[in-house]
């Protein structure tokens, strides 16, 4: 009887390990691939909902954001590189929002790997982040995205038919906002849009 019980416990543990999204880490999203399914809580803040083009409450997936391109920053409030890069990412956001040709077409969001809602809010206030940030306190999203180091940027192009494709997936900061934006426009196919 003891042997059977030990066997059943071992089988249950194996099933738990191999079916757990947290323990079964994947590779980072590859260029040309589809972004793994990520569910985020629709922000209660009206301006963030409006920015993302969301009207309800509950959850949403990245391809539901009303934009042609979504830039996702995986950050941590404890990451010194993320802290140092925050002003340049904010500048990138402002360049997009200040351009009549780009506003509404490119959206930014941040996901705090291992950060609680409180920690994300501290990061937002400390670095005056103007775009929506989301908590990933239990590392669930981080695991699905291949347990990337931070800061990590993922560019997703959303097609008219609702399909989407990753066109950029790389570790490292923005460095120069204007150069990063030009690269995003070129790689996403939005190069024809005048960024001036």
Separation CA 189–CA 91 (nearest Å): 22
Predicted local distance difference test score (pLDDT) of residue 152: 98
14 belongs to a structural domain = no
Given a contact cutoff of 8 angstroms between Cβ atoms, the answer to whether 57 and 42 are in contact is yes
176 belongs to a structural domain = yes
pLDDT tens digits for range 18-61: 344 334 447 999 999 999 999 999 999 999 999 999 988 899 99
86 belongs to a structural domain = yes
Residue 6 in this model has a pLDDT that exceeds 80: no
- The answer to whether the bond into 26 is cis (omega within 30° of 0) is no
11 belongs to a structural domain = no
pLDDT tens digits for range 156-189: 999 988 899 999 999 999 999 999 999 999 999 9
Predicted local distance difference test score (pLDDT) of residue 7: 39
Residue 2 in this model has a pLDDT that exceeds 60: no
Residue whose structure tokens are 């990520």: 38
Q: 134 lies in which domain range?
A: 28-188
Predicted local distance difference test score (pLDDT) of residue 104: 96
46 belongs to a structural domain = yes
22 belongs to a structural domain = no
Alpha helices, DSSP H only, in 20-53?
46-52
112 belongs to a structural domain = yes
The domain tally of the chain equals 1
Instruction: Give the global pTM.
Output: 0.84
40 belongs to a structural domain = yes
Rg of the chain, C-alpha, whole Å: 19
Which CATH number goes with the domain that contains 67? 3.40.30.10
Alpha helices, DSSP H only, in 20-79?
46-52
* Residues in contact with 166: Cβ distance below 8 Å, sequence separation at least 6, in sequence order: 29, 30, 31, 32, 33, 34, 35, 154, 155, 156
pLDDT tens digits for range 64-88: 999 999 999 999 999 999 999 999 9
């Amino acid at each position: 009887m003891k042997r059977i019980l030990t066997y059943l416990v071992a089988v249950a543990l194996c099933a738990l390990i191999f079916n757990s999204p947290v323990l079964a880490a994947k590779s980072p999203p590859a260029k040309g691939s589809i972004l793994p399914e990520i569910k985020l809580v629709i922000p209660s803040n009206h301006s963030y909902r409006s920015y993302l083009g969301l009207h309800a409450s509950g959850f949403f997936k990245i391809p539901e954001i009303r934009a042609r391109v979504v830039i996702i920053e995986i950050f941590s409030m404890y990451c010194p590189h993320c802290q140092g890069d925050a002003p340049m990412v904010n500048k990138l956001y402002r360049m997009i929002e200040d351009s009549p040709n780009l506003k509404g077409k490119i959206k930014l969001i941040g996901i705090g790997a291992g950060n609680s809602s409180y920690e994300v809010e501290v990061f937002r206030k400390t670095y005056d982040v103007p775009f929506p940030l989301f908590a990933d306190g239990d590392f669930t999203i981080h695991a699905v995205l291949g347990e990337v180091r931070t800061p990590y940027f993922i560019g997703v192009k959303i097609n008219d038919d609702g399909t989407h494709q990753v066109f950029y997936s790389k570790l490292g900061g923005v460095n120069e906002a204007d150069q990063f934006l030009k690269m995003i426009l070129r790689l996403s196919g939005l190069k024809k849009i005048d960024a001036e």
